[in-house]
């Protein structure tokens, strides 16, 4: 493997390929035809500045998605997503749609999409939101079909789909806007109240006319009023809700401090006595809101990323009825309907094959990338993909009755049984709240007995000083910075507990298929054979290159995933009369002149055409086709798939295919082990191939031939013996165990379904991201601990002083804000790791 990486997506370029695109006058390497096509489209559109602007690599495009887009042109399907926009006179003039766009990594993506789409005729406006990965497009349906619109996204490497979570999205939008408003009011209030407080403090030192003091207090009261009533409202609401269910959370002392300080300050203003804390109240509210806002943003970002991707099944299918073939929405299918499934389509329901022989990729159920042979009478499942020939299927179950649905409910069940992670700060908060309340009560009692007129003000300063500002900022600030840093590394955190559990995890479990490998077959080895039959004129063998060229010619017409291994071979040797036997092999006729070296016996040839019959496939297929002896299998390595290439005169050679290891797999596992994690491999694949894989990568614990249920049981056993698990997987078959693990990581190219249900998503294809993420999570944990220790220390020092009545309001304000700032600055250090 070369060390060159793809200019578009950043993945390593396989040594055997030569894809390049000229960008800005320089030839840049590409890893696959997909990246090449996308980069070419970007440059042809004059948008190559994208590469200059971007802050992160693009994701590797998947060109196979194009075929299903036409379904979105059906009016029944569109009705769910598209909105009619009337013109001035009220007649419908154009359409608007909300799209969820996959593959947006930075602001330059938004630029690229908007520039590219605005050039299409028929597009009226495009607006891309980088935060929630949505695009709002208005277009003229007369000039442009919806499928063409979606195709335009694919051309530049983004996967856009109508977003179906409108309600959730607009709810998030509302929450976000309201939050920003609260933050704005608190921020402005903090500055204004602070400014006036400086006047008041200066007056307290230098002496000030009580009339002015009173005036300034009234002004601060007016400023603080909207801050407390509007900005701090969520804290009061949450505190009351938590008290009702008997929880002591951070909201309780926060509300107590804000509420009491504000009321007492109002009382001081009206009665012209005591101290006012309007500036501290506003500052609290602002800092605390900031912490909550950071938390909310992380949550929203992940929600909006995960939602709407849940479309496992196509929106429409082709139904065979008396009127012929009609396109109907999948929703309308019933048992016993006949449907036709074209090559490359996802099967929308469970059913029995009536007509057609094909192979079906059942990766969605089993994780196995190689297709399964299917003939009339065989059962097919919803979510699997037809890969070779059209099939006619009689529907047996739709919707909830399908096997797919059964797996989904297993997932839901596993999720509810998942161990609950209580965040460290919340655990601290409970004790902290109790301690503060007890101390405040004690202080109140003591002062009440000794100096009753001072009691209220001293208790107040205790509450203000101990207000857990720094404490409640400690975690969200560090989390927000760490989440951002991880996102830049290509690791998306979707659930709140991920960082905390990643830092303490001690077991990492991989699923072999697609997790440690790329899931596409490549040629591992070519072994020429010289065993041509007795009448052979020459004992020469064909060169490896020639063998591969013949194989590529044979495979050129096939859509079987195996044929992809040959798709990148240049100068294929032409084969005609190709006959394919599904799931077994391919045969065809080749001109003898095309094959270098004169090695064939003249007697066996079809002299009229000068052609010879060649075939490639499983050894059993070859022996059934030709009357030749089977050569010895060249390898026992179960991770390799042997294909035999032969003519009717004898075998020509072996072509061994192998699933490629993911870049950085061995390295990542070594690093994980040195970080103290146990690494294990639970796979649904054959025992010996799992063993080979485990040995190659240095994994000691492995299990093969495991069903999703067994994996889940295995994971649970590990959890019960006290381990904390990180599960890395990609197929639907992994989803139950993904959901059951303490933290789950889905790969970026995993099925949408696995991505939605995983706690985190690894966007970069490089497994090295995993040890990096663990390291960052551990750093985050130590930063959070430092922050919490600092916040508690500050409180320990300030509390006795406040209890002794020695902290004036200005000192409380300074102490509180510096401790909060320190916590935030400390968290920012995570960015530099």
Partner 1 sequence: MASLYLLIPVSLIFCALAIAIFFWAVNSGQYDDLDGEGERLLFGDDDLEEKSDDSGSDDLKEKKETSDD
* Residues binding partner 1 (CB under 8 A): 44-49, 53, 106-108, 110-111, 115, 118-119, 121, 124, 128-132, 173, 176-177, 180-181, 184-185, 188, 192, 212, 215, 219, 222-223, 226, 297
The residue among 179 and 702 lying less far from partner 1, judged by its C-beta, is 179
Nearer to partner 1 among residue 212 and residue 438 (C-beta): 212
Give the nearest distance from C-beta 291 to partner 1 in angstroms: 17
The minimum distance between CB 6 and partner 1, in angstroms, equals: 22
Of 130 and 811, CB closest to partner 1? 130
**Strands 507-510, 725-729: parallel, antiparallel or unpaired by DSSP?**
parallel
**Of 53 and 446, which has the nearer Cβ to partner 1?**
53
What helix, strand, coil percent values describe the chain, rounded to 5?
A: 50, 20, 30
Give CA angle at 407 (402, 413), nearest 5°: 130
Compare residues 109 and 347 and give the one whose CB is closer to partner 1. 109
Q: How far is the CB of 146 from partner 1 (least distance, A)?
A: 20
Q: How far is the CB of 177 from partner 1 (least distance, A)?
A: 5
| 633: phi then psi, degrees, rounded to nearest 5 | -60, 130
Query: Nearest approach, Cβ of 180 to partner 1 (angstroms)?
Result: 5
Pairing mode, strands 743-747 and 391-397: unpaired
- Residue 827 corresponds to which tokens in the numbers above? 């968290």
Report the nearest approach of partner 1 to the CB of residue 40 (Å). Answer: 13
CB 546 within 8 A of CB 763: no
Minimum separation from the CB atom of position 135 to partner 1 (A):
11
- Min dist CB 380 to partner 1, Å, is 43
* C-alpha distance across the termini of the chain, in Å: 29
Closest approach of partner 1 to the CB of residue 168, in Å: 15
Classify strands 678-682 and 701-703 as parallel, antiparallel or unpaired: parallel
CA 402 from centroid of its chain's CA atoms: 26
Query: For residues 120 and 527, which CB has a smaller minimum distance to partner 1 in the complex?
Result: 120
Closest CA to 252 of 424, 422, 426: 426
CA dist., res. 395 & res. 463, Å (int): 68
Q: Which is nearer to partner 1, 105 or 549 (CB)?
A: 105
Of the pair 101, 655, the CB lying nearest partner 1 is at: 101
Residue 46 CB, shortest distance to partner 1, in Å, is 3
How far is 160 from 153, CA to CA, in rounded Å?
A: 6
| Residue 227 DSSP label | I
Return the number of the residue (87 or 336) whose C-beta is nearest partner 1: 87
What's the CA gap between 783 and 809, in Å, rounded? Answer: 30
In angstroms, the CA 663 to CA 12 distance is 7
Written as six digits, the tokens of 383 are: 């979510």
Q: Which is nearer to partner 1, 130 or 675 (CB)?
A: 130
What 3 state SS string does 239-259 have? HHHHHHCCCCCCHHHHHHHHH
Q: Which is nearer to partner 1, 25 or 246 (CB)?
A: 25
The Cα 786–Cα 477 span in angstroms is 12
How many C-alpha atoms does 189 have within 13 Å on its Cβ side? 30
Spatial CB neighbours of 198, under 8 Å, sequence gap ≥ 6: none
In three state form, how does the secondary structure of 72-119 look? HHCHHHHCCCCEEEECCCCCEEEEEEEEEEECCCCHHHHHHHHHHHHC
Q: How far is the CB of 219 from partner 1 (least distance, A)?
A: 6
- With b meaning 16 or more CB within 10 Å and e meaning fewer, what string describes 236-271? bebbeebeeeebbbbbbbbbbbbbbbbebbbebbee
Looking at the Cβ atoms of 192 and 359, the one nearer to partner 1 is 192
Euclidean distance between CA atoms 598 and 191, whole angstroms: 90
Q: How far is the CB of 489 from partner 1 (least distance, A)?
A: 17
């Amino acid at each position: 493997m070369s060390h060159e990486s793809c200019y578009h997506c950043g993945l390593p370029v396989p040594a055997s390929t030569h894809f390049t695109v000229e960008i800005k006058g320089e030839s840049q390497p590409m890893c696959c035809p997909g990246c090449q096509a996308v980069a070419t489209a970007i440059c042809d559109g004059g948008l190559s500045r994208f590469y200059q602007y971007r802050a992160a690599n693009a994701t590797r495009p998947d060109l196979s998605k194009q075929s299903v887009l036409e379904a979105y042109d059906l009016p029944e399907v569109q009705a769910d997503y598209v909105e009619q926009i009337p013109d001035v006179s009220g007649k419908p003039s154009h359409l608007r749609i909300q799209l969820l766009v996959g593959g947006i990594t930075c602001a330059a993506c938004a630029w690229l999409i908007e520039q590219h789409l605005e050039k299409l005729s028929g597009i009226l406006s495009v607006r891309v939101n980088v935060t929630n990965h949505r695009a709002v497009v208005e277009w003229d349906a007369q000039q442009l079909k919806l499928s063409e619109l979606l195709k335009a996204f694919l051309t530049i490497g983004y996967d856009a789909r109508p977003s179906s979570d409108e309600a959730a999205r607009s709810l998030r939008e509302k929450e976000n806007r309201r939050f920003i408003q609260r933050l704005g009011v608190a921020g402005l209030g903090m500055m204004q109240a602070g400014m006036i407080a400086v006047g008041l403090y200066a007056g307290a030192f230098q002496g000030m006319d009580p009339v002015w003091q009173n005036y300034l207090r009234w002004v601060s009261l007016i400023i603080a009023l909207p801050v407390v009533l509007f900005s701090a409202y969520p804290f009061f609401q949450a505190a009351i809700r938590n008290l009702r269910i008997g929880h002591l959370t951070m909201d309780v002392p926060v509300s107590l401090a804000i509420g009491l300080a504000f009321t007492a300050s109002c009382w001081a203003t009206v009665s012209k006595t005591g101290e006012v804390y309007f500036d501290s109240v506003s500052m609290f509210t602002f800092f605390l809101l900031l912490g909550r806002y950071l938390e909310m943003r992380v949550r929203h970002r992940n929600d909006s990323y995960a939602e709407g991707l849940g479309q496992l099944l196509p929106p429409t299918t082709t139904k065979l009825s008396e009127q012929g073939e009609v396109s109907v929405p999948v929703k309308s299918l019933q048992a016993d309907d006949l449907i036709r499934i074209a090559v490359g389509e996802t099967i929308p329901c469970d059913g029995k094959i009536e007509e057609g022989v094909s192979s079906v990729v059942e990766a969605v159920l089993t994780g196995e990338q190689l297709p399964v042979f299917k003939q009339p009478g065989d059962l097919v499942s919803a979510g699997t993909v037809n890969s070779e020939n059209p099939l006619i299927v009689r529907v047996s179950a739709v919707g909830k009755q399908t096997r797919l649905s059964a797996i989904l409910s297993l997932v839901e069940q596993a999720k509810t049984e998942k161990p609950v992670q209580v965040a460290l700060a919340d655990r601290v908060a409970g004790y902290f709240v109790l301690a503060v309340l007890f101390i405040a009560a004690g202080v109140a009692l003591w002062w009440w007995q000794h100096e009753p007129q001072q009691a209220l003000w001293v208790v107040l300063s205790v509450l203000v000083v101990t207000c857990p500002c720094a404490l409640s900022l400690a975690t969200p600030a560090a989390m927000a910075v760490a989440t951002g840093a991880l996102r830049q590394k290509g690791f998306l955190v979707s659930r709140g507990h991920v960082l905390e559990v990643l830092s303490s995890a001690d077991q990492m479990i991989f699923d072999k298929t697609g997790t440690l490998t790329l899931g596409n077959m490549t040629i591992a080895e070519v072994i020429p054979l010289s065993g041509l039959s007795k009448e052979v004129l020459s004992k020469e063998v064909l060169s490896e290159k020639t063998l591969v060229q013949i194989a590529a010619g044979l495979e050129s017409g096939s859509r079987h995933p195996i044929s992809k291994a040959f798709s990148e071979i240049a100068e294929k040797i032409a084969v005609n009369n190709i006959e394919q036997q599904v799931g077994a092999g391919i045969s065809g006729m080749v001109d003898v002149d095309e094959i270098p070296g004169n090695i064939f016996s003249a007697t066996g040839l079809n002299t009229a055409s000068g052609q010879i019959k060649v075939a490639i496939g499983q050894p059993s297929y070859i022996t059934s086709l030709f009357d030749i002896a089977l050569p010895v299998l060249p390898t026992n390595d179960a991770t390799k798939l042997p294909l035999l290439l032969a003519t009717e005169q004898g075998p020509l050679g072996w072509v061994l295919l192998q699933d490629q290891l993911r870049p950085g797999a061995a390295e990542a596992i070594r690093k994980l082990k040195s970080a103290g994690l146990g690494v294990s491999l639970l796979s649904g694949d054959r025992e010996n191939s799992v063993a080979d894989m485990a040995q190659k990568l240095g994994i000691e614990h492995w299990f093969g031939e495991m069903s999703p249920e067994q994996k889940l049981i295995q994971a649970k056993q590990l959890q019960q013996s006290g381990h904390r698990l990180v599960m890395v997987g990609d197929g639907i078959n992994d989803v139950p165990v993904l959901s059951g693990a303490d933290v789950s990581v889905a790969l970026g190219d995993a099925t949408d379904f696995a991505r939605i249900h995983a706690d985190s998503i690894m966007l970069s294809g490089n497994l090295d991201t995993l040890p990096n993420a663990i390291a960052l999570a551990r750093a985050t944990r130590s930063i959070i601990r430092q922050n919490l220790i600092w916040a508690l220390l500050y409180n320990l020092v300030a509390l006795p002083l406040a209890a002794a009545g020695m902290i004036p309001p200005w000192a409380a304000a300074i102490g509180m804000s510096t401790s909060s700032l320190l916590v935030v600055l400390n968290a920012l250090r995570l960015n530099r790791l």
